[in-house]
Structure 1
Amino acid sequence: MASPWIPRMHLWEIDDQPWFPSFLRAYVQTGLTHAWTVHIPFLQASSPATIVADTLRRVLGSSVSRHTYIDFCAGAGGPTPFIERALNSQLARSAAHTVPATASSGVTVDGTSNASSSETPSYAAVADPEKKSATVHDEDAAVQFVLTDLHPHVESWEAASKKSDHLTYVSSPVDAASAPEVLLRRYAGKDKKKGIFRLFNLAFHHFDDDLARAILKNTVETSEGFGIFELQERTLGGFATCLMFGFFIFLVAPLLYWWSPVRLFFVYVIPVVPFVLVFDGIISCLRTRTADEVEALLRTCGADSDGWEVKSGREQVIWPCGYLNWVICSKKAA
């Protein structure tokens, strides 16, 4: 993340408030999902969800297929179903292009030829919500993703899971600070072949320091790694991106919501949706932690984190100033 120009402030967001109408909250969450999944030609190389999949594969390397990925703050689903399709599409292509060393004179990286390791899926291949991830033919290469939340959105999750053989959900409430052992055992497998990797997509900034430490403590004690992905940062560019997003909603709403006059009413006539997206986006910028701040919480969470390494970075998701900031922490290889 770029150096922040203002200290972190844990202020409140409208979308978090119990008095905010649930139907408007659903509209706002849909807008946030589009922020993850829409690909704007010329302004974006690919969607942010696809960039998350690229980042997981690049940073985790050969261990990427040895995890089950559990989203502990899935909300209504968010980007995780799209990340699942993108990552498994990449893994399937990588497996299909793997050439035995005895049959190729080319250099390979993690068992994948250089040509295939540089490939990324087109957005069209991963963003169609009606398209199942049938492109994943190698079941051993595919990884499982799980949707959980303290407040489950079962109806939305069930609809998403029907579109992929590698996406499932937990219908009961799951507390990220106290993950049920039965849940972790189920997705690690009887022989614990799969490690648990936790995902926090546009979520970790919602936790105050005490709750963040409690979640990290439980993560270190029960998981193999975690990834924090945020679409905002405490910089002038981050604030500018939030304002751009509000303008973007005005432009694309007719294309996205032409079938829903009620949604369009709350975008144009009474512009609650764009206002909340911009206001909460700016507050999210103020709440977002740098990688150093996350690591400080990790080292003081009360669990032994000596064997954990922290990697971080930022990837441009929209020109000129929109960036995906990521922190990936995992156990060091023995």
Structure 2
Amino acid sequence: MNIRLQLFELEDQRWFPHVIRQGMLDFLRFMITRLNAYEAALPLLQELLERSGQRHITDLCSGAGGGIAAIQQQLGQRLHRPVTVTLSDLYPNLGAYKYLQESSGGAINFIPEPVNATAVPASIKGVRTIFSSFHHFPPHLAKAILQDAASKQAAIGIFEGARKSWLELLLLWLLFPLVILLVTPFIRPFRLSRLFFTYLLPLIPLGILWDGTVSLLRIYTPAQLQRMASEAQAPNYTWRSGRAGTGPGKNVIYLIGYPEEVKR
């Protein structure tokens, strides 16, 4: 699937009810965590941390923090030392962030104020990451995110948990309605609103199916990511894109960027 359509996702809309957005993001976090969907990204993240001499990740566009707990733990194991993570978003999901902070013993923290990925304050340090969110941005904003990282000489890793295929789209419509109904009672933190808007008034499942479809159509291919990155103006900065991982739920499209010499 090489096409990219800039359609709209419900969760991007300011008018979209926060309780529904939150329920959709909680489901995404649950599935990414259970599938360990970003396992293939670990060597790339390790490379970024080692190249930058850092042990801290600042996650942009965190949503509900899907998969970040497993990533934080597994990176620590690979590097044989603790790795910390700061979550951030333009619309912070504070309930999910507090849950992750408590369950991680403080290894994962968060910024409660909105953070714009196209203009990250200089005071925010660490290797930048964006998981399952870069496709939300049209090309001009996507380029601005890359330019902001390159201009500030910050290493960045962009990861989309998909291969971008028609088979994935088919599985979304055939399997996900059943999966949503089965797993919703097990998603934490528990919320009555999530049950209501899943089983009685199924706005969360409908939102997941719509946004999931649009997400697959909006994801940038590795070639498109590389072209955008090549337009970022910054000296001594390297970009690399591609696909990693095999098997259902294990495919990752990625773009990583890092300064060749990092000021420490």
TM-score by length of 1: 0.69
> CA, structure 1 residues 220+205, in 2 after alignment: closer, same or farther (shift >3 Å)?
same
- Report the 3-state secondary structure (helix = DSSP H, G, I; strand = E; otherwise coil) of the residue aligned with 1:198: strand
Contact 1:152 1:172 (8 Å CA) reproduced: yes
The Cα shift of 1:55 comes to 4.5
Contact 1:11 1:283 (8 Å CA) reproduced: yes
- Report the 3-state secondary structure (helix = DSSP H, G, I; strand = E; otherwise coil) of the residue aligned with 1:273: helix
Report whether the alignment pairs 1:66 with 2:54. Answer: yes
> CA, structure 1 residues 74+260, in 2 after alignment: closer, same or farther (shift >3 Å)?
closer
The amino acid that maps onto 1:146 is T
Percent identity for Structure 1 against Structure 2: 25
The Cα shift of 1:202 comes to 0.7
Q: Tell which structure's C-alpha radius of gyration is larger.
A: 1
Contact 1:205 1:289 (8 Å CA) reproduced: yes
Question: What residue in structure 1 maps to residue 97 of structure 2?
Answer: 157
CA deviation map 1:188-244 (0-9, x unaligned): xxxxxxxx3210111100111111111111110113421111123442123124223
Question: What residue in structure 2 maps to residue 299 of structure 1?
Answer: 230
In 1: Cα distance, 2:161 partner to 2:191 partner: 27
Question: What residue in structure 2 maps to residue 53 of structure 1?
Answer: 42
The amino acid that maps onto 1:73 is C
Question: What residue in structure 2 maps to residue 290 of structure 1?
Answer: 221
> CA, structure 1 residues 91+65, in 2 after alignment: closer, same or farther (shift >3 Å)?
farther
Q: Structure 1 residues 239-248 or 282-291, which shifts more?
A: 239-248
Contact 2:30 2:187 (8 Å CA) reproduced: no
In 2: Cα distance, 1:299 partner to 1:237 partner: 30
Alignment of 1:250-329 (within 5 A): 250-256=181-187, 262-301=193-232, 303-304=233-234, 307-316=237-246, 318=248, 323-329=251-257
Give 4+ residue runs of structure 1 displaced > 6 Å after superposition.
none
Contact 1:232 1:281 (8 Å CA) reproduced: no
The amino acid that maps onto 2:120 is A
Report whether the alignment pairs 1:183 with 2:124. Answer: yes
Contact 2:158 2:256 (8 Å CA) reproduced: yes
The amino acid that maps onto 1:142 is P
> CA, structure 1 residues 317+60, in 2 after alignment: closer, same or farther (shift >3 Å)?
farther
The Cα shift of 1:292 comes to 1.3
The Cα shift of 1:289 comes to 0.2
In 1: Cα distance, 2:101 partner to 2:153 partner: 23
The Cα shift of 1:324 comes to 2.6
**Does 1 or 2 have the higher relative contact order (CA < 8 Å, sep 6+)?**
2
Question: What residue in structure 2 maps to residue 230 of structure 1?
Answer: 160
In 2: Cα distance, 1:255 partner to 1:212 partner: 34
In 2: Cα distance, 1:241 partner to 1:89 partner: 33
Question: What residue in structure 2 maps to residue 44 of structure 1?
Answer: none
Q: Structure 1 residues 244-253 or 198-207, which shifts more?
A: 244-253
The Cα shift of 1:179 comes to 1.4
Question: What residue in structure 2 maps to residue 87 of structure 1?
Answer: 75
Question: What residue in structure 1 maps to residue 82 of structure 2?
Answer: 142
> CA, structure 1 residues 299+22, in 2 after alignment: closer, same or farther (shift >3 Å)?
same
> CA, structure 1 residues 247+16, in 2 after alignment: closer, same or farther (shift >3 Å)?
same
1:330 to 234, 258, 262: 258
Q: How many residues align?
A: 260
1:12 to 8, 13, 17: 8
The Cα shift of 1:82 comes to 3.0
